[in-house]
Amino acid sequence: MENGQEKVIIVGVETEENQRYFEESMTELSKLTMTASGKVVFTLTQKRPQVDRQTIIGKGKLQELIQQADAYEADLIIFNHEMTPRQSQLVGEAVGLPVIDRVQLILDIFAMRARSKEGKLQVELAQLEYLLPRLAGQGKSMSRLGGGIGTRGPGETKLETDRRHIRNKILGVKRELKAVEAHRERSRQKRQTSEVFQIGLIGYTNAGKSTILNLLTQADTYSKDQLFATLDPLTKKWRFAEGFEITVTDTVGFIQDLPTQLIDAFHSTLEESQNMDLLLHVVDASSPDRTLQEQTVLQLMEELKMNEMPVLTVYNKADQIDPALFTPTLFPNVLISAQSVEGKDQLIAGIKRQLMELLEPYTLLVASDEGQKLSALRRQTLVLSEHFIEAQNSYEVRGFAKKTSKWLKM
């Protein structure tokens, strides 16, 4: 271990099935390892029609892995494939080191990042459900629980190898989650009945969602150039210069091959986005894997039945590309740099255009002595113009409001 960082060897097999995105996937695994405070000392790859049923990599490559692990004094092996308990056991015994897979690594990062009670419970549930079938032959790596990558979360209190104990624990966590989810549902319904327009931020991890939330709302959330910097959904109020109040919710970043355990575990986090009036799909315009990342998000949106929702694609990180050479693939869209003042103005203009398509136009007369009514209008609707008509001693207010708004019934 160097400076508290574990020395990690990452392993991947390029097959006919994954060759299209194999390199991007390995780069992502390396970034995930760094996010989990590991240091990649060697990358071992192999080309095969399909992975070896016993050890993922072939016999010759397994020998090479043993040699490299020894030469680099590695602490841990991480495979870029979901492994069966038997596969990780066989490789672990051959190399004499703990072996984890991509899913365990992602679960581990989630355990580091979860802040809210619900986030922590959801991670714990996903980790316990992943661990349950993997108890056999965990003797060696079990003794390691409590230290290092792949061991955070529930592993911090040495997990008994008793399946019944873990099943009971899963039931307990599910019960706690139900209570927390019921509370969240009540808050969500309160927001929905309040007629407030709701915007949700979605997108591939590290595309800049938290930076955009900070840009609009000064929320000061954790936004770093790391994968999964945000885990717990965070809702903040944002007020337009004209006074219109909106809520903006940040969600967990999507990732290629997001483990199914996590789609289930974070369903309520992503469900937050299902009740939004408008989604901002944030895309890293500078990423060489942009198209793949867009497809990953669109596919997950389809799985979550969110593909019918209004979406504005926000191509972020324009400062890292030549805008003249940029060709967008998703529409409607805006191209911005969330780090610049112009970026903020362009984003707000893009959101306004979408609002005017989604909201209903109205014209209202407000008497000059109804100051409270006028300020409520500014807060609850998007006011475009206020014109004083002397003959009627009233303001003619034009703007846009939600279809359910009481202002449209006046």
Span 269-312, pLDDT tens digits: 666 677 889 999 999 999 988 998 999 889 888 877 888 899 99
Average pLDDT, the chain: 86
**According to the model, what pLDDT value does residue 189 have?**
74
Question: Helix, strand, coil shares of the chain as percentages rounded to 5?
Answer: 45, 20, 35
Mean pLDDT of the 244-271 span: 73
Q: What is the CATH number of domain 195-357?
A: 3.40.50.300
Using an 8 Å Cβ cutoff, are 283 and 313 in contact?
yes
pLDDT of residue 337: 96
Given this chain, do its domains 7-110 and 195-357 carry the same CATH topology?
Answer: yes
Predicted local distance difference test score (pLDDT) of residue 375: 94
- 14-18, 152-156, 183-187: which range is least confident on average? 152-156
DSSP for 263-297 reads HHHTHHHHHHHHT-SEEEEEEETT-TTHHHHHHHH
Q: Among 50, 106, 59, 54, which residue's Cα sits nearest to residue 78? A: 106
d(CA 289, CA 291): 6
DSSP letter string, 99-156: EEEHHHHHHHHHHHH--SHHHHHHHHHHHHHHHGGG-TT-HHHHTTTTSSTT--GGGG
| Span between the terminal Cα atoms of the chain, in Å | 69
pLDDT per residue as tens digits for the range 54-76: 999 999 999 999 999 999 999 99
> Residue 396 forms beta bridges with which residues?
365, 387
Using CA atoms, how far apart are residues 310 and 350, in angstroms rounded to an integer?
A: 13
Beta-carbon count within 10 A of 385 CB: 11
pLDDT computed for residue 8 by the predictor: 97
Residues 259 and 107 sit within 8 Å (Cβ to Cβ): yes
Angstrom distance (rounded) from CA 146 to CA 123: 16
CA separation for the pair 63, 95 (Å, rounded): 9
Predicted confidence (pLDDT) at residue 264 exceeds the cutoff of 90 = no
Q: Which amino acid is at 245?
A: E
Number of residues that this document lists for the chain: 410
Model confidence at 210: pLDDT above 90: no
CATH number for region 7-110: 3.40.50.11060
Instruction: Convert the pLDDT of each residue in 316-368 to its tens digit.
Output: 999 999 999 999 999 999 999 998 889 999 999 999 999 999 999 999 999 99
Are the CB atoms for 99 and 92 separated by under 8 Å?
Answer: yes
Radius of gyration of the chain, Cα coordinates, nearest whole angstrom: 25
The predicted pLDDT at position 383 comes to 96
pTM over 0.85: no
- Per DSSP bridges, beta strands 197-203 and 278-284 are parallel
Domain ranges of the chain: 7-110, 195-357, 359-408
Band of residue 141 on the pLDDT scale cut at 50, 70, 90: very low
